[in-house]
Amino acid sequence: MSEKTLSNRRQFLRQLSGGAGLVAAASSRTALADNHGGKKLGYALVGLGGLSTNQIAPALQKTKHCRLAGIVTGTPEKEKIWAEKYGIPEKNIYNYETFDSIADNADIDVVYVVLPNSMHKEYTIRAAKAGKHVLCEKPMANSAEDCEAMIAACRSAGKKLAIGYRCQFEPHHLECIRLAREKTFGDLKMIDAGFGFRIGNPDQWRLKGAPAGGGALMDVGIYALQACRYLTGEEPAVISATETKTDPVKFKEVDETIVWSMTFPSGVVAACSTTYAFRGVNRFKASSTNGWFGLEPGYSYGGIKGETSEGELRFEEIDQFAAEMDDFAQCILHNRESRVPGEEGLKDLRAIEAIYKSIRTGTSVRLG
């Protein structure tokens, strides 16, 4: 790889990460920004399910600008376990009924909403009204209308809102964005993207229509959708989709497998897929006039691998959750916009609603 290419890569990621630079992003999540006086922002996790337990809470122990300050849970048994493990004082432990009193707690700066999708709107709005900044897991909500209400509530309260798109802080993804935007391999022409897995327990909330809002598309297909949007830097103009169900009992309320195509204003075409029926779909490949680049696996918490028509993309692994939380802390401390604001989540939901509409109507859907 030429010195010019390396220089361009460093400059592009330095811009994307608010001044951290590629070397910092690739080598250590802790170098995303400076200390800003050494202040660490207190995060309260709302919802202590598997993601909070296995990913987010451990990631907070690695952050440079954040700390786990509080928890909100509807399971009393978890209160003692978390308090002892992470040294959380009793005054920083809430349930869903006492949540609003978090407004009086100066220890907590940010509320991280890690709940079933249908609850994102309520707790984002309640957190904003309590005077807290909000980081909300994806998908942002179950409808574009709910997303708009969340954005409006945070704006009215003068608080920042970001969505948990961890891949946009991962160095392989950042490099692919650079390759696309700088046209390193010429004009981007086509993207093939997909993410899926075989889902287990049939009684879980992800298979229930009301809390989940949808199935594989809302849960993991959104990663493929996101990749197409941030590689092109555009919003889809036309979407066409079809759905397949091999188990209509298990997937009675939500989608199992969806394939969809998107055409972007520049003419880029995307072929996407998502599924709850089988493993092995976890990638994107972007083809340009003079070459290609892509990731496989592309969306996992770790072990991401990248390749281009010229060779391998290689970066040191980071904790993606720690990176996104540190970045949001920096946005708050330096009063700058997140690159994954509520508006980003809203755009995804608009596209997802178009996918579902195309399935219902059997026709292509044009977006405004």
Distance CA 102, CA 130 (A): 7
Phi, psi of 82, deg, nearest 5 = -70, -40
User: 52-70 burial, b if ≥16 CB within 10 A, otherwise e?
Assistant: bbebbbebbebbbbbbbbb
Average pLDDT over residues 25-38: 40
Residues 264 and 234 sit within 8 Å (Cβ to Cβ) = yes
Distance CA 43, CA 67 (A): 6
User: Which part of the chain is CATH 3.30.360.10?
Assistant: 168-316+342-366
In 3-state terms, what secondary structure has residue 233?
A: coil
Query: Would you state the structure tokens that stand for residue 221, as one six-digit string?
Result: 């297909």
DSSP string covering 267-287, please? S-EEEEEEESS-S--EEEEEE
Angle 362-367-368 (CA atoms, 0-180°, nearest 5)?
Answer: 150
DSSP string covering 24-41, please? HHHH-GGGSS--GGG--E
Position with higher pLDDT, 27 vs 37: 37
Confidence of residue 25 (pLDDT cuts 50, 70, 90): very low
Q: Which CATH superfamily is domain 32-166 in?
A: NAD(P)-binding Rossmann-like Domain (3.40.50.720)
pLDDT digit string, tens, across residues 136-194? 999 999 999 999 999 999 999 999 999 999 999 999 999 999 999 999 999 999 999 99
Average pLDDT over residues 202-215: 98
User: Which part of the chain is CATH 3.40.50.720?
Assistant: 32-166
Query: Among 3.40.50.720, 1.10.10.10, 2.70.98.10, 3.30.360.10, what is the CATH number of 168-316+342-366?
Result: 3.30.360.10
**Active-site residue set:** 138, 223
Distance CA 94, CA 331 (A): 26
Confidence of residue 11 (pLDDT cuts 50, 70, 90): low
Number of neighbours of residue 172 by Cβ within 10 angstroms? 22
Cis peptide before 171 (omega within 30 of 0): no
Handedness of CA 322, 323, 324, 330 (dihedral sign): positive
pLDDT digit string, tens, across residues 294-349? 999 999 999 999 999 999 999 999 999 999 999 999 999 999 999 999 999 999 99
pLDDT at 39 (0 to 100): 83
Nearest CA to 228 among 194, 257, 197?
A: 194
Distance CA 196, CA 164 (A): 19
Percent of the chain scoring above 70 in pLDDT: 90
**DSSP designation for 130:** T
For the entire predicted model, the pTM comes to 0.92
Residues 164 and 59 sit within 8 Å (Cβ to Cβ) = no
User: Rg of the Cα trace of the chain?
Assistant: 20
Average pLDDT over residues 220-242: 98
pLDDT at 37 (0 to 100): 60
pLDDT at 34 (0 to 100): 41
Query: Would you state the structure tokens that stand for residue 237, as one six-digit string?
Result: 């103009």
Average pLDDT over residues 55-76: 98
pLDDT digit string, tens, across residues 263-306? 999 999 999 999 999 998 999 999 999 999 999 999 999 999 99
pLDDT at 1 (0 to 100): 47
In 3-state terms, what secondary structure has residue 152?
A: helix
Query: Would you state the structure tokens that stand for residue 94, as one six-digit string?
Result: 């809430």
Confidence check: pLDDT of 350 > 80 = yes
Average pLDDT over residues 94-122: 98
Q: Which residues, 6 or more positions from 226, have their beta carbon under 8 angstroms from its beta carbon?
A: 165, 167, 168, 348
Number of neighbours of residue 200 by Cβ within 10 angstroms? 10
- Using CA atoms of 51, 194, 214, 368 in order, give the dihedral in degrees to the nearest 10: 120
